[in-house]
Every structure is written in C-alpha cells, then in structure tokens.
Amino acid sequence: MKTYKFLCLSILSAFIIAATSCNGGKKAETKVEKEEEVLPEDIVELRADQIKLAEISLGKIEMRSLSGTLKVNGQVTVAPQNLATVCVPLGGFVKSTSLVPGNAVRKGQTLAILENQEFVDLQQNYLEVKSKLEYAEAEYKRHNDLYKEDVYSQKNVQQVTSEYKILKAQLIALRQKLELAGINPNRLTENTIRRSVAVTSPISGYVKAVNVSIGKYVAPSDVLFEIVNSDQLLLELTLFEKDIDKVSAGQKIRFYINNESEQHDAVIYQTGNLVNADKTYKVYARVKEKCKNVLPGMYANAIIEGTVNDVTALPSDAVVSFDDKDYIFVFAKNKQEGGKSITEYRMVQVRKGVSDEGYTEVILPDGFDQTKAKVVIKGAYNLLSAKKNAGDMACD
C-alpha cells in the first residue's frame, strides 16, 4: 500500500514539472516571436532626453522678403569691337616701330612701317592698268559712235567693249589691294610710288601685345599688335546650370579684383542661351564706371543681387542636405513605448531657393500644409545624424 502511494506521488510531481516546463517554454517562445517595430524610411524618433541633448526647437514656416545673393567667378573682358588684332595683308619687313605694351594709341596712329617689293609691283600694275583703261575707254566710246553711223561692225564693237570691261575690273581689283596694303590709290601717281607702308591702329586704346622687331619679316597671318580699348569693360561670369533661373538682365552686380576690398559695380545685360558641356553657362555684365585698376583679363569675384520677393522661408539651419537632396524635419506625433515618451519627426523633401540674412527660401511639395506644420528650426543636423546612424539613438 505504501509502495502504491509513493508511486502516485512520483507520477504527479513529474506531471507538474513537465507542465511548468512547457508553460515556461511557451512564454520564452512568445517573447522571441514578438515582432520589433519597423519605422518608415522618412521617420526619425527620439526620447525626451535625446530631444533635450539634440537641442531640438520647433517653429513655423514664414513668409519673408528675401532678395538673395549668388556668388560667382569670372573675368574682366571687353566687347569684340573694342579689341583689335593688327595684321598686314601682304606681309613685309619691319622698318621701324617704337611701341611697347602699355602705350596708349589713337585710331589711325602709325604703329609700324613695313617694306616690301610687292608694294612697288602693286602700285606699278595699278598705274599701268589705269593708263590702259583710259585708252580703252576712249576707244570704246569712239567705236560705239562709229557703230551707230554704220562705220564699224558689231563684232569690232564687242571686242573693244570686252577689253574695256576687263581693264576696268582689273583696275577695281588693284584698287582694293592697294587699300588693303594701306596705300591711297587716289593719291598715287608715277612720282609717288613708294616701297613702304604704314601700319595704323584701327581703334583707340592701349597696346596689349607687341610681336615685332626691326628687320623681322612678318607674314600676312602673323599678329603684329593687339590693341584694347578699356573705356567700356565687361564682366564674363561663369554660372552653374542650376542657377539659370536666378539671374536675368538688369540685375546689379558687386565685384572685386585680386582680393582687393574696393567694390566695383556692374549690371547684367545678357545671359547665355547655351549650356556648356561642363554644365555651366555665361552671363555678361557692363561695368558701370571706369576703374583705373581694373583691366581686361583680370580675375573677378562677383556677387549677383537678386530681386526682392515674398517667399516661404525658414532659418538656413533648418534645411539639411542628404544624398544631394534638401530636406526639413516636421513634428509628426508623440507616443508612449515601454513607459517612455517618444517623439516622431518626419523628413520632408523640399527645394532650396535664395538665401539672405540667415534665412533660406524653401519650395514645399504639393499638398503640404504650411499653416499647421511644426518645423524643426534648430537641431535639424542632429536629427539628420540620427537618421544616417539609425540605431545609435534608438529608443530602447
């Protein structure tokens, strides 16, 4: 009988232990199988102590009058009509010149004297053809008069007419060559034939480059002098493609030369119509006043002033960049997890506009209610850091 009771107690104890073990296993399994919360890609959450540490402050999107400025680089230049390259169509040997770079010259001033045997031949040919043309013209008139009186045949008249027109064409061509060489055909006679010609300046300005020396032979393709007129200077500025919509004709420019503190002023008169292969384009501005220390070819740092407009704006620190896009953080909601207060912030993609006096224009997405949105205006970079390093600031 005692043996039977002991056996029953042993079986009951084993059942209780087995039941307890099963329940414990189920609890452990339930705990393991509990799913972890997965946050959306655009959500960042912080605890109250983390918000304090990150110095998060909320604010509203404002309407502000921003003019905006755009910092660009470029160089001082001149219009094509104020830059002259001096060559000689027929070439020749340099007989004399007294110019050095920096000399001021006026339009029509002699820059150098050139000699060439071709000048003599050209003048001789011109005078010979001119003389022949005078005789041919007289013959042409005489034959026409006799042809009207039926003295000469039509064939004779046609032959004389042909010779007259050929000589006339030759004279016109030689006249043009003389003018290209710098010789006035109206003043040319048998007694004024000369072997040298004067090379004159086509514009007023100063000598930028001198590429000749006495006795040197210069070919028609050689550049003898470069003349620059700096009375009307231009700025050639280089902008990136993304800034095309930020500039227009009439905008004012402040620019500086060679890190100088003196400010110079210009006004945009033309914007480029073509984007280059490197995604840049050109903007041209006229320098408003003559500046003695500003010369063509100088490097310039320029600030383009924008037009004043009322735009949606936030403090510049509220707009952050991530993966080449711009974002702001907006308060989403408060919640409780494990007895702790948690705040969620949503990343909203925006486009940046002009910046001025610590504020930046933000172009909001469609459907965004700016009147109700609470935007993170301080601590946005800390939220971005939490986003980039997801898990480092997890709310356990």
What pLDDT tens digit does each residue of the chain (396 aa) get? 444 433 333 433 443 344 444 444 444 444 444 455 677 888 888 888 888 998 999 999 999 877 767 888 999 999 888 999 999 888 899 999 999 998 999 999 999 999 999 999 999 999 999 999 998 888 888 877 776 766 667 777 788 888 889 999 999 999 999 998 889 999 999 999 999 999 999 999 999 999 999 999 999 989 999 999 888 899 999 998 888 877 888 888 989 887 777 888 999 998 878 888 888 889 999 998 877 778 888 899 998 887 667 889 999 999 999 888 999 999 999 988 888 899 999 999 999 887 777 889 899 999 898 888 999 999 999 998 888 876 444 444
**Residue 209: inside a domain:** no
Residue 287 within a domain: yes
Strand partners, 46: 343
26 domain-assigned: no
Which pLDDT belongs to residue 110?
94
pLDDT score of 37:
60
What pLDDT does 177 receive? 92
Q: Which domain holds residue 186?
A: 118-194
What's the one-letter identity of residue 376? V
Measure the CA–CA gap between 141 and 234, rounded to whole angstroms: 59
In the chain, count H helices and then E strands: 5, 23
Give the Cα separation of 77 and 89 in Å (integer). Answer: 27
Nearest to 269, CA basis, from 285, 257, 254, 280: 285
How many residues belong to the chain? 396
Burial class for 271, CB neighbours closer than 10 Å (0-12, 13-18, 19+):
middle
Is residue 345 assigned to a domain?
Answer: yes
- Is position 240 within any domain? yes
pLDDT at 143: 74
**Which among 309, 328, 358 is the end of a domain?**
309
Tokens 């003196």 belong to which residue?
A: 262
Domain count, the chain: 3
In a domain, 328, yes or no: yes
CA–CA gap between residue 228 and residue 267 (Å, rounded):
21
Q: Which two tokens stand for residue 357?
A: 């006096």
Round to whole Å and give the CA distance between 140 and 162.
Answer: 9
Question: What pLDDT does residue 6 have?
Answer: 38
Per-position DSSP letters for 92-118, written without gaps between them: EEEEE----TT-EE-TT-EEEEEE-HH
Instruction: State residue 154's pLDDT score.
Output: 73
For residue 25, the model assigns a pLDDT of: 45
The CATH number for 298's domain is 2.40.30.170
Residues 6+ apart with CB under 8 A from 66: 306, 308, 309, 311, 313, 353, 354, 355, 356, 357, 359, 361
| 133 falls within a domain | yes
Please give the helix or strand (H or E) that residue 183 lies within, else none.
Answer: none
At residue 28, the pLDDT reads 43
